[in-house]
């Protein structure tokens, strides 16, 4: 088992933890953090799987570099919307919806 595969496996575990966090946590700040965890897991999988043979592949590296910047932007957008929600409703959780 190469180092790349260990990275990819760690990424899979992080991604699953992030998925569970997004579904389980009600506080929006925690949910945004869990969402970031999912992103980090996906980046680790991309990088790790690409160099599983020990060779460095520049294409996934460039994609992950782009992805990191976009995830920073998405986090900032989510935080701005959360703050707006807090100003309008005074709550840091989404209003409850009926499951139908």
Partner 1 sequence: MKRAAIIIFAALFAFVLIVAMLELSALPSPKVNLPAAVAANMAASGVEHPVTAVLLNFRGYDTLLEIAVLLLVLLVVLAVSPREGKAPAASHEPVLQVLARVAVPVMLLAAVYLLWAGAHRPGGAFQAGAVLGAAAVLLHLAGLLPGWNAPRLFMRAGLAGGFLVFLVVASALLANGALLHFPPEFAGALILLIEAGLTVSLGLILAGLFLFLA
Torsion of CA 74, 76, 28, 33, to 10 degrees: 70
Among 26, 29, 69, 94, binds partner 1 (CB under 8 A): 69
Among 29, 79, 91, 94, binds partner 1 (CB under 8 A): 79
Should residue 96 be labelled a site residue for partner 1 when binding is judged by CB under 8 A?
Answer: no
Compute the distance between CA of residue 34 and CA of residue 16 in angstroms, rounded to an integer: 10
Should residue 5 be labelled a site residue for partner 1 when binding is judged by CB under 8 A?
Answer: yes
Should residue 93 be labelled a site residue for partner 1 when binding is judged by CB under 8 A?
Answer: no
Instruction: Label residue 18 left, alpha or beta by phi (over 0 means left) and psi (-120 to 50 means alpha).
Output: alpha
- Helix, strand, or coil (residue 93): coil
Should residue 29 be labelled a site residue for partner 1 when binding is judged by CB under 8 A?
Answer: no
Should residue 33 be labelled a site residue for partner 1 when binding is judged by CB under 8 A?
Answer: no
Size of the site for partner 1 (CB under 8 A): 42
CB contact burial 8-21 (16+ within 10 A = b; e otherwise): beebbebbeebeeb
- Return residues touching partner 1 (CB under 8 A): 1-2, 5, 8-9, 12-13, 15-17, 19-20, 23-24, 45, 49, 52-53, 55-59, 61-63, 65-66, 68-70, 72-74, 76-77, 79-81, 83-84, 87
């Amino acid at each position: 088992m190469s180092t790349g595969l260990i990275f990819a496996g760690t990424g899979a575990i992080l991604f699953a933890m992030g998925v569970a966090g997004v579904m389980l946590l009600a506080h929006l700040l925690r949910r945004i953090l869990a969402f970031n965890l999912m992103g980090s897991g996906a980046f680790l999988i991309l990088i790790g799987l690409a160099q599983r043979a020990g060779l460095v592949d520049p294409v996934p590296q460039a994609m992950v570099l782009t992805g990191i910047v976009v995830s920073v932007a998405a986090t900032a957008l989510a935080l701005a919307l959360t703050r707006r929600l807090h100003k309008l409703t005074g709550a840091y959780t989404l209003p409850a919806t009926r499951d139908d």
